[in-house]
Amino acid sequence: TPSTSTFSYTGANGFGNTTVQSETYNDLTLNASDTFVLEAATTVSNNLTITAGTLDTVSGQNYGLTIGNNYSNSGTFEAQAGTVTFNATDAGNTLGGTMTTTSAFYNLTFNGVAGAWSFSDAATVDNTFTITNGTVTAPSGTLTITNNYSNSGTFTHNSGTVTMNATATGKTITAGGSSFYNLTFNGVGGGWTLQDATTVSNVLTITNGTLNGGSVTLTLSGTTGTPFSNSGTFTASTGTVTYTGNN
């Protein structure tokens, strides 16, 4: 029974990887120059901290990881093709540390009624980013998403940039009533379609790829004088583009 305890792995296995038993932990800390592999799907009901070493969800198994409160990574997180789910039902939770390149997430889901999370550093999601319930505050830098974006909760842009970098077509953006600040599409061969009304409050940029406006309203409210920059392809379809910003 985890109660309010902290479970810390601090030993390095000189003969191979260290297995993290499939349990429900309260606080889980990894702090050794070792590779820690999940035994199966694992729940951390409070905080997951990677101080040193590598946490691996296991290639081919892609074990899920559920985190109740905070996530901090100063080591390496190998998401493989697994899903990390944050399910807090309180505010003030944070995601920080290294969350890009080799420590990027694969599928990242937020699903906690009344839960709230903030990114304190740039992050990359190599597949799908989903807000089912709760409020997510983006990093003030860049949140990079390779596949689909789906929001049925609340997304607070924090004056940051969301970059979609897929290199395949068929990707979707469901804004869910929350606006973006900077929204950038930059994937050679990538194709995205808006699924509902979308607002970009600073600059919409298509560097590479094709953005399809679908049949919805795209509102550009930026006041930079150039709220839309396009060096890729924009397909209006049957949608409406509305400029509402004053330069």
Which pLDDT does position 247 carry in this prediction? 75
101 three-class SS:
helix
Residue at token pair 């493989």: 80
Which pLDDT does position 15 carry in this prediction? 78
For residues 108-124, give the mean pLDDT.
98
For residues 121-129, give the mean pLDDT.
98
Q: C-alpha distances in angstroms, 8 versus 50, 61, 162?
A: 10, 24, 34
User: For residue 182, how many C-alpha atoms fall within 13 Å in the half-sphere facing its CB?
Assistant: 18
Which neighbouring-strand residues pair with 185? 164, 206
For residues 70-81, give the mean pLDDT.
98
Contact yes or no for 78/56 (Cβ under 8 A): yes
Does residue 200 surpass a pLDDT of 80?
Answer: yes
103 three-class SS:
helix
Does residue 1 surpass a pLDDT of 80?
Answer: no
Q: Which tens digits make up the pLDDT trace of 146-196? A: 999 999 999 999 999 999 999 999 999 999 999 999 999 999 999 999 999
Which pLDDT does position 14 carry in this prediction? 78
Which pLDDT does position 46 carry in this prediction? 98
Contact yes or no for 130/108 (Cβ under 8 A): yes
Q: What is the pTM of this model?
A: 0.96
Q: How confident is the model at residue 3 (pLDDT cuts 50, 70, 90)?
A: confident
Does residue 2 surpass a pLDDT of 80?
Answer: no
Contact yes or no for 26/49 (Cβ under 8 A): no
Does residue 97 surpass a pLDDT of 80?
Answer: yes
Does residue 57 surpass a pLDDT of 80?
Answer: yes
